[in-house]
Structures are given as structure tokens and as C-alpha cells.
């Protein structure tokens, strides 16, 4: 809506609404800025769409009202309280109805967080260049680990989640728990010592590093260079389960496997016993069916072979009889008697078979053999 003044003679007079609207319009043209101060008068309600607090300058007490969308504030997970020093990124605005000047926040960081983030990014690039995060160096997690090492704090939350999940899924699992610091300046060295101790323990096949959610500062030990290098050089595969899904400390990148939560880590390191039992039952049934089928086929082959053996002698005799009949037929066809039956005769002289008339002299006594007997003749 255009801002217009009302003319009173030679004066241009703006209404309060027009004035506020004009100032608000000019403020929207300003860029986003970072403002540093202490949080005071933080007000948040489940039914409110926005979170309100005052940003106070600790040097001279100057104050600036700040508002931020509740969904954005909750997503930051800062757990802010009065008196904390923060950096707020936002754009100045004027609430026209009341003329309240405030800062519409887009993001909030605890004081010094930017330096931490920059240092972590430099460390991340350095370790990545050395190959500590390379996928080809990550090892598979054993399917059925003999013993599981668990590095966690003594606050019971993350430890309970991991142990409950492992016990529910695979009651026979053996877990060796190493409770240690997981927050503060002593946490990184303590976790390194616990990792070394578990790696030297007999029978440990996989190690879970677990911690529940927390602020950015709470999770800083899990990005400590010493711990990241210890995880990368661990002789035992390591599963990192630190914070929630959106948290990503550097130990997640160095570990052989990342779990989004401690509960998810419990599901990753052991199989489901009920599912394994079901698979074994199916395999047992399949083996039983295969064995029965094999026995049936073997029985059928045996019966077939037995039948062949039983019939073999008669078949061999029949084949020999057929061959003998064939030979006998050929012999009969070649027999002289078969020739005599066709009307031929055999002439002999002194028991010699005559084949030519040249061998016969007139008056020779000859013997003629016919099919049904012999007769004596004399040659003329």
C-alpha cells in the first residue's frame, strides 16, 4: 500500500499507520546482519508461532527485541537460556501496529560457534585428504560377532538404548561395556583409552561408540582429531552412534559404519534372532524336502536298474536266439539240400561230386542224389 501524506496548508502530515508503514518498508530494504549480545527474557510457548527474547549488550545495557519462528528455533536445538551470549543473524523490521522495532532472526549461534565450525571444516578437509574418510578403507561389520564392545557414558540413556536393542534382537549376544567421559575436555582422551582397551580385549569383533543427543559444544569431543585418528586406525571395526540423525561429528566419517542413533546401532551390530530362526526353519524344511526328493529319485533309479537286471538274461537269450535263427536261416539258404529242394540233383562218381561232363566216360556207373533219396545210373 502506498504511503501518502495529508496536506494541511503548506504542511504534509503522515498518520501513525502511514509513518510506521513507510519506516517498515524502508527497513525491509536493509541487508541481513549478525548481532551479538546476551539472551534475556526468553519467552516460548507451545501455542505460539514465534519465540521472543531480548538481546542485551553487556557493556552498556542496550537492548534489542528479537523474534524467530518457533519451528526454526526448535530446529536449531540450542537449548538457550537467559544470560547466554549468542550471535543472531536477522533483518530489522518494524511491527506496524505497535511501532515496535525488533530483529527478525533467521539463525542463532552461540558465541564462538563460527570459529569452531571453521576449525572443524579445516580439520575435515585435512583428514579427508589423508584418506581417513575413504569408503574403500571401511570394513564390513561381522554378521554374528562373538563379543561386542560398547563405549558410552554413565548417564544410562545411550547405553540403555544400545543394550536394550541388542538384548531384544539377539539375547545370546555378549556385550563388554566401557563407561567413560563423553562430554567436556577429558572426554576425547578417555574415549581413546576405552577404545584401546576394548581393542586389546579377547573376542571383541565390533565396537560401538554411542552417545545421545546434545548441543554442538557437547558433541565437540567426537570431532577431536586424536579420537578420529584412533577410530580410523582401530584394528576392530567401529560403529559410530553419536547424537541424532542431523548430528554429524567427524567420528561418524572415520568409523566403519554410522548409525543415526544408539538404537539404530543396536540393530546394525546383531541380527534378529527371530528372523534367523525363521530362516533356519525354512532352510531345514527345504533340506528335508530335498532329502526326500533325493531318496525318491534314488529309489526310482534302483528299481529301474533292478528291473533292467531282472530282464537282462531273458533279453540276452532272446537276442542270442534271434542271432542264432538268423545264422541258421543263412545256413539253410546255403545248404545243398535247399538246392535239391528246388529241383536240382548231385551227381557223384566214386564218391566224387562231378561238376563237368568231361569227367564222365560212357558206361560209367554214377550215383544221382535227389531231395528224397539216391538212385544209381549208368552213363551213355
Where are the domains positioned within the chain?
6-111, 115-271, 337-378
Rounded CA-CA distance 233/132 in Å is 9
pLDDT score for 230: 95
pLDDT score recorded for residue 376: 84
Whether 273 contacts 172, CB under 8 Å = yes
Considering only CA atoms, which of 222, 224, 179 is closest in space to residue 198?
A: 179
Nearest Cα residue to 152 out of 210, 75, 236, 101 = 210
pLDDT at site 245: 67
pLDDT < 50 stretches in the chain: none
Nearest to 191, CA basis, from 240, 237, 257: 240
CATH entry, 6-111, from 2.40.50.140, 3.10.20.310, 1.10.760.10, 2.170.190.11: 2.40.50.140
Convert the pLDDT of each residue in 93-102 to its tens digit. Answer: 998 888 889 9
pLDDT for position 251: 94
Q: Give the residue among 143, 55, 147 at the shortest CA–CA distance from 101.
A: 55
Report H helices in the chain.
Answer: 16-27, 70-76, 113-129, 157-169, 187-200, 225-232, 250-254, 262-269, 273-334, 336-341
Written as nine digits, the cell of 299 is 529309489
CA 376/CA 368 separation, integer angstroms? 6
pLDDT recorded at residue 177: 93
pTM of the complete model? 0.53
In whole angstroms, how far apart are CA 239 and each of 25, 156, 205, 262, 274? 53, 19, 11, 10, 23
DSSP string, 285-352: HHHHHHHHHHHHHHHHHHHHHHHHHHHHHHHHHHHHHHHHHHHHHHHHHHSHHHHHHTT--EEEETTE
Cβ pair 36, 111 in contact under 8 A:
yes
Q: What is the dotted CATH code of the domain comprising 115-271?
A: 3.40.50.2300
Helix (H, G, I), strand (E, B) or coil at 236: coil
Q: What's the grid cell of residue 336? A: 545243398
- Give exposure, 230-258, as e/b (b: 16+ Cβ within 10 Å): bbbebebbbbbbbbeeebbbbbbbbbbbb
Amino acid at each position: 500500500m502506498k504511503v501518502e501524506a495529508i496536506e494541511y496548508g503548506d504542511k504534509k502530515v503522515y498518520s501513525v499507520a502511514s509513518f510506521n508503514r513507510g519506516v517498515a518498508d524502508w527497513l525491509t530494504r536493509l541487508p541481513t546482519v549478525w548481532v551479538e549480545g546476551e539472551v534475556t527474557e526468553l519467552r516460548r510457548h507451545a501455542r505460539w508461532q514465534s519465540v521472543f527474547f531480548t538481546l542485551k549488550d553487556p557493556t552498556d545495557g542496550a537492548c534489542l527485541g528479537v523474534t524467530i519462528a518457533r519451528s526454526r528455533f526448535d530446529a536449531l536445538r540450542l537449548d538457550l537460556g537467559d544470560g547466554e551470549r549468542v550471535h543472531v543473524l536477522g533483518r530489522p523490521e518494524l511491527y506496524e501496529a505497535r511501532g515496535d522495532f525488533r530483529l527478525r532472526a533467521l539463525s542463532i549461534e552461540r558465541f564462538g560457534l563460527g570459529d569452531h565450525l571453521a576449525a572443524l571444516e579445516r580439520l575435515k578437509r585435512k583428514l579427508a585428504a589423508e584418506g581417513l574418510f575413504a569408503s574403500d578403507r571401511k570394513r564390513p561389520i561381522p554378521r554374528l560377532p562373538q563379543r561386542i564392545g560398547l563405549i558410552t557414558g554413565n548417564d544410562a540413556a545411550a547405553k540403555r538404548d544400545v543394550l536394550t536393542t541388542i538384548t531384544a534382537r539377539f539375547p545370546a549376544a555378549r556385550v563388554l561395556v566401557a563407561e567413560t567421559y563423553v562430554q567436556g575436555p577429558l572426554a576425547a582422551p578417555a574415549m581413546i583409552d576405552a577404545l584401546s582397551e576394548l581393542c586389546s580385549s579377547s573376542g571383541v569383533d565390533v565396537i560401538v561408540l554411542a552417545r545421545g543427543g546434545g548441543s554442538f559444544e557437547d558433541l565437540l569431543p567426537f570431532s577431536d582429531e586424536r579420537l578420529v585418528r584412533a577410530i580410523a586406525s582401530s584394528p576392530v571395526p567401529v560403529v559410530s552412534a553419536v547424537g541424532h540423525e542431523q548430528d554429524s561429528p567427524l567420528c561418524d566419517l572415520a568409523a566403519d559404519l554410522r548409525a543415526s542413533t544408539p538404537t539404530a546401532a543396536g540393530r546394525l551390530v546383531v541380527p534378529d534372532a527371530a528372523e534367523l530362526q525363521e530362516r533356519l526353519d525354512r532352510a531345514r524344511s527345504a533340506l528335508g524336502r530335498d532329502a526326500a526328493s533325493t531318496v525318491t529319485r534314488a529309489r526310482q533309479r534302483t528299481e529301474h536298474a533292478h528291473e533292467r537286471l531282472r530282464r537282462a538274461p531273458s533279453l540276452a537269450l532272446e537276442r542270442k536266439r534271434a542271432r542264432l535263427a538268423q545264422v541258421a536261416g543263412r545256413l539253410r539258404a546255403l545248404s545243398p539240400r535247399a538246392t535239391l529242394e528246388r529241383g536240382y540233383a548231385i551227381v557223384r562218381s566214386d564218391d566224387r561230386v562231378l561238376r563237368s561232363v568231361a569227367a564222365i566216360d560212357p558206361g560209367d556207373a554214377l550215383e544221382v542224389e535227389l531231395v528224397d533219396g539216391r538212385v544209381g545210373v549208368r552213363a551213355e
